[in-house]
Amino acid sequence: MSETGRVVLVGAGPGDPDLITVRGTRALARADVVLYDELATGDLLDLAPARALRINVGKRGHEEPTRSQADINALLVEHARAGRTVVRLKGGDPLVFGRGGEEMTACVEAGIPFEVVPGVTSAIAALTYAGIPITDRRHSASFAVVTGHKDPSRAAEGTRWRELGRAVDTLVILMGMRNLEALVAELIAGGKAPSTPAAAIMHGTLPQQRTCVATLADLPRVVREQGFGAPSAIVIGEVVRLREGLSWWERRPLFGRKVLVTRARDQVAELAAVLRSAGAEPVIEPMIELVAVDDAGTRREIAAALERLDDYGILVFTSSNAVRFFAGELESLGERAARLATDARTFCVGERTAEVALEVGLPVHVVASGRSDAEALLGQLLESLPTTGQRVLIPRSRIGRSVIADGLRRAGHEVDSIAFYENRRPAIDCAGLRDRLVRGELYALTFTSPSTVDHFLECLDEAARAAAARCMIAAIGRTTARRLEACGLPATVVPDRPDMVDLVEALAAAAAAEDGGAPGDPRRTTPRSGSAARSDDEGDDEHHDGGGRE
């Protein structure tokens, strides 16, 4: 650790965590300390290392901050002087009404190195997600962004609203909801036409986004009647007229709909991100937890297999998790084990399993193509291997299927199929889940393995189970769909491939069809009352060897 650390001011963007920049993501990954605003929480904090200290400094619009700006400046300096990399994670852009300049000055005065990572400002992004271009050559050649938060000790108190209303084509006001009525009165008094189109966008870029459109004169009344509050961006100008034809975010098939995500917590990010991009609000309630096996007998099996890795000519992976847990064991044994593992031929079920194998430094020789399932890989293995005599290692979950191991043994090969990890039920807020179901909050339920189905059903009472049957139900593949069918909750949606993007696209297509719109992406779906469609096997961890996603 260096004698003096540094400070990185990172713009978190307007709300949607996927709008953070690549450089901002990299900065978070190297952070020792993260000081974050109330608007920059959730998924973005997960980008920092687990060891990083996270400090909520609580700034949110007009509300009182958890800490004063002087306290925040002092924390930045204190931790940087202790040799730490400090990320100051700020909503929007650090230098757009974010007091980033004050924090930079504090670093300069303390002799602390710093850098700034710009962020996407809500002044543009919220309008974009509402279908309102901030400029358009048909309506607007200029714009101004101004804070409506009056602070007698700062420059905002001297804003000349009457002149400003006439000076630009598009006016965007941030932090203006508390003073909106007075601000509108000033603009009209300065000559802005009361009939000028205006809009307020609350929770811009999020699945909870709401937009209201009115004339400038009517906007304070309309936002009050519709219950708008902070954080909201206000836009005034002729560009607002374009919203009716250009609105896109709020028209997505899954917009604003809550979708239950049951994947393991350390694997939830991919599905949650794809759901958010489709307009859905992910409700994260992990139903499985994957952990390394810890019983003494199995640990001895693993140690013995790794000790004689050079005896194995073939490594077979039936899931990305099998790769990860195998790689974790290799890492603990040092370079020799890693070298021996790369000498073996590696066979993978599914493209994702192969991707993860390559990421951890394993060569990939065969990937099950077409149907990405255990049966497909077994056929390819038998075609590729000599008639008999190969020594094969299959790292698997404790409850994985034995299709490949049994088939190879019948063909005369020596197979060690060893459990490297197991599936456990995590702590689940069952009461909260039942309440959400009974209140009808959840539009869709997603399941990525049979165990997610089993653990979900264990949480339900009769009323919640009946409510679950009224939801759209999505299964990642045929094994999970069969389990749902057997439990009396047939899958509404099963994608053609066991892939998170395909799963969400199929869900969106089913939602569009249900709403009477165009079906969109022609993924395979089944009627809600019908039996589950057949799909390729899916990812790993349970009672099957499928295509490597779980």
> Exactly one of 90, 93, 175, 536 is catalytic; which is it?
175
Q: Which of 16, 32, 59, 472 is catalytic?
A: 59
- The residue type at 138: R
Residue 295 appears among annotated catalytic residues: no
DSSP state of 389: -
State the catalytic residue, choosing from 37, 93, 499, 502. Answer: 37
Active-site residue, 59 included: yes
Strand partners for 143: 170
3-state class percentages of the chain: helix first, strand second, coil last, to nearest 5 = 40, 20, 40
* Residue spans of beta strands (DSSP E) within 189-236: 197-202, 210-215, 232-236
Angle at the Cα of 270 from the Cα atoms of 264 and 275, rounded to 5 degrees: 105
Residue 9's DSSP bridge partners are 88, 116
Q: Which residues pair with 329 in a beta bridge?
A: none
Per-residue CA distances from 362 to 43, 166, 340, 358, 491 (Å): 30, 64, 10, 5, 36
Q: Is 175 noted as a catalytic residue in this protein?
A: yes
Query: How many CA atoms lie within 13 Å of 282's alpha carbon, on the beta-carbon side?
Result: 25
CA distances from 49 to 8, 52, 87, 545 (A): 15, 5, 12, 31
484: exposed, middle or buried (Cβ count in 10 Å: 0-12, 13-18, 19+):
buried
For residue 353, which phi and psi values (nearest 5 degrees)?
Answer: -60, -45
Q: How far apart are CA 103 and CA 108, in angstroms?
A: 9
Which residues are catalytically annotated? 37, 59, 175
